[in-house]
Amino acid sequence: EDALLPAPQNITILSTNMKHFLTWSPVIVQGETVRYSVEFQGEYEREYANESWIPISECSLITGTVCNITEDISATVAYNLRVRADVGAQRSEWGTLKGLFNRITTSLTPPLMKVIADGYHLLVELEDMGPAFQFRVLYWKKGQERRVLQKVVKEVRSVVHLDTMEAGADYCVKAQTYVEAINRSSSFSQTQCVRAHGDKSMWL
């Protein structure tokens, strides 16, 4: 098994909203299909398991240059990742991520949000971003910016009821995500305001 085949380069992690993808530059071998395999190593493996590496079966001998490692980056510790290339009997050395990756550094984007005035009820529809996410929703009556109310939504099921509105008043809403596992929040979404529709259909 000689190592003429160059190791994959430019190994990076793209991590947004707790979804983590490993990417690398393709290894070019004219007329050949190059395949790649990915392995990871958590702090536990480095410190207590002889620096062992664990293969990711979904990214073993793949032809693409992206691997979804979200399932395996499942603790808030530092992870190491590496990729190697295979062409026929040729196998490259491992290309290793520069520096370690901790999910605490994931970038958090504001949630997509839709505010609804259903009769006199102030409702909000939030994007389902997965089990790691909670939402902090702030809402207030326009003109009473000092009396902001808050609701923490732990599980996104359907429309969330915020409040019962007074006729003719405008109500404004904004939201941010919160990820307990890394104790971080996104920035707030754009503010959306609505007014109670007195004549629309009512409850029940």
Q: Which residues bind another protein (CB under 8 A)?
A: 40, 42-45, 47-49, 52, 54-57, 71-72, 74-77, 79, 118-121, 123, 131-134, 153-155, 157-161, 164-165, 167, 179-181, 183, 196, 198, 201-204
Would you say 90 or 151 has its CB closer to another protein? 151
State phi, psi for 184 to the nearest 5 degrees.
Answer: -135, 155
Would you say 34 or 126 has its CB closer to another protein? 126
Would you say 76 or 107 has its CB closer to another protein? 76
CB of 168 to another protein, least distance (A): 12
CB of 9 to another protein, least distance (A): 26
CB of 25 to another protein, least distance (A): 26
Would you say 56 or 85 has its CB closer to another protein? 56
Would you say 11 or 129 has its CB closer to another protein? 129
Kindly provide the b/e burial profile for residues 148-186, where b requires at least 16 CB atoms within 10 angstroms of the residue's own CB: eeebebeebeeebebbebeeeeebbbbbbbbbeebebeb
CB of 176 to another protein, least distance (A): 15
CB of 49 to another protein, least distance (A): 5
Separation of alpha carbons 99 and 42, rounded Å:
13
